[in-house]
Chain A
Amino acid sequence: MLDNESSSEYSDFLHDLQSVVAERVEALRAAQSAMTPRAFQDDEKVVMDWPELAGRVVEELR
């Protein structure tokens, strides 16, 4: 069982850790955002070409 002093230290440690984790997550998100165009140029992630003729091919002689 922790005494009052130790409990306070642990809370401070958790508080510090929380802010560090938050900073790291934000940094990761920023890095992801900066990579947006690249993610959308990767055809292993994005479907680039519409897979059907409908919508691109005209099937009436006009």
Chain B
Amino acid sequence: MAIRGSLTEASLPDVLQLLAMGKKTGCLGLTYANNFGYIYFADGAITHASLVNRSLDTEETVYVLFTWTQGTFNFEPGVTPDEGVHTTAIDPQSLLLEGARRVDEWTLIAKKIPSFDIVFAPDRHTLLANERPLTPEEEVIVPLLDGQRDVSALIADSGLGEFTVGKTLYGLLSASLIARVGVSQRGKTAAAPDDKVTEHRNLGIAFFKTGMYEEAAREFRRVDSLHEDDPVASFYLGLVSLRQEQWAAAIHAFERHAAHGVPRAAVFSNMAYAYQQLGDLTKAHTAIEKALSYGGRGDPVIQTNAAALAIAAHHHDAAETALAAARTLWGARRPPAAWYHYAGLNAALTNDLDRAIAILTEAVQSYTSVAVLWNNLAVAYEARGDFDTAMQTLERGLVEEPHLPQLHRNFADCLQRAGRFDEAREAYRRAHTFDTAS
């Protein structure tokens, strides 16, 4: 379950400590005005942090985020960094002290350097008369002060990080070794439309990845208004609609992409998914065929989606072919739980219970917390006549998900068969209650 809140009510250090103590895994997204940052956690440790449209390492990013005393946060459990992103393991507690110190110092620095578009230049007379040796940071910064670079450019060109640059400029200003000479052109003029499109697009993607769908949709609509028929915007607006279970809106967005962008397998595959949710298997079939023809044959997720659609249409041979293709494409990697689900289901539906049991047993060993897999494995055992194992499997599933109605119904069937009629009646009642609730 996502956790949302306001940074005015719960500060970032409070939230970090909460997530660390709870040994949480997921992504904490933070937004402040038009800025967005995110921090990934694995078992309570910080693995990666980043600011949209800025380039800082993980520790520097967290320190910048500490200075945000307004805005909102959203923790999305289970979300992990993209493949290829550099990850580390930092105990959040180790950043709190330094973070607090920097926040105090930054309050002072911000009084002299209120924005990053200010341009400074050295005061040559004072510098020549200066007898104090320059610090190593000042040695880097002073030669870069050419009366043109603003603070953002100094941060980028020095590679020192914004806190160190800010602190160094503060020291130089306090000693009157440098002086403010103006603001950069970037600060005077509005950002170019292309820059604004990129900014909103990056923000939208970051919001989407951290589960902030309303905010993501807002950013992509801004992109749309600045750059008509932007293919990234229509794709992500489709994804947001899928997340919000607005199937018709998702189809509309993906069709808009298909009409204006380069044909993409992902777009047609997602469109097929939305059509299936609307109950239109014919259009779903047309869309998945297009997805496969535009390169989707080499994509294991699209092959799994094709298999799910084939099962829904009772085309079990086609489903088996797609599932086998997906399995080959994953190679040595472990397939996702969804693949095991459909592979087990298709085997059972073609009356190959032994294979269904083998697939689903492997599945629950890898995905122990997924009750759906435990449930279907239990039904396979029950169908094979192995009632004791079915009952044990259902009990295991109920530990993971006490509200899944199918687990209670199957458990009731087992109790009924064992002559435990009162308990069976109670289990049927629970199945009905949870079925109605869902």
Contact = CB atoms under 8 A, between A and B. Distances in A.
Contact of A56 (B235, B308, B379): B308
B406 A45 contact: yes
B266 A58 contact: yes
Contacts of B372: 47, 50-51
Interface string B294-331: 01000101101100100110000000000000000000
A37 B349 contact: yes
Contacts of B379: 39-40, 45-46
B395 interface: no
Interface string A25-58: 0000100110111011101111111111111111
B406 A57 contact: no
A59 interface: yes
Q: Which of A32, A51, A53, A59 has the most chain B CB atoms closer than 10 A to its own CB?
A: A59
A56 B383 contact: no
Interface in B378-422: 379, 382-385, 404-406, 409-410, 413
B341 A58 contact: no
Interface residues of B, number: 49
Nearest to B386: A29
Contacts of A32: 382-385
B299 A58 contact: yes
Interface stretch (B45-53, B166-174, B189-197, B332-340): B332-340
Contacts of A53: 242-243, 273
A55 B282 CA distance: 22
B184 interface: no
Contact of B338 (A41, A52, A61): A52
A9 interface: no
Interface residues on A, range: 20 to 34
A34 B341 CA distance: 23
B406 A56 contact: no
Contacts of A39: 379, 382-383
Nearest to B336: A55
Given A36-B351, A56-B273, A50 B308 contact: yes
A58 B349 contact: no
A54 B295 CA distance: 20
Contacts of B312: 48
B232 interface: yes
A36 B385 CA distance: 10
Interface in B222-263: 231-232, 235, 239, 242-243
B348 interface: yes
Nearest to B373: A47
A58 B271 CA distance: 10
SS class of chain B's interface: helix, strand, loop or mixed? helix
A37 B351 contact: yes
Contacts of A40: 345, 348-349, 379, 383
Nearest to A38: B383
Contacts of B336: 54-55
A13 B266 CA distance: 69
Nearest to B265: A62
Contact of A33 (B232, B267, B384, B405): B384
B349 A55 contact: no
A49 B276 CA distance: 11
Contacts of A44: 405-406, 409, 431, 435
Nearest to A52: B338
B353 interface: yes
B39 to A, nearest CB: 20
Contacts of A52: 338
A3 B377 CA distance: 52
Contacts of A51: 372
Interface of B: 231-232, 235, 239, 242-243, 264-267, 269-270, 273, 295, 299, 301-302, 304-305, 308, 311-312, 336-339, 341-342, 345, 348-349, 351, 353, 372, 375-376, 379, 382-385, 404-406, 409-410, 413, 431, 435
Q: 9 closest Cβ contacts across the A-B interface?
A: A55-B338, A58-B266, A29-B385, A55-B336, A36-B383, A40-B348, A47-B372, A50-B338, A56-B305
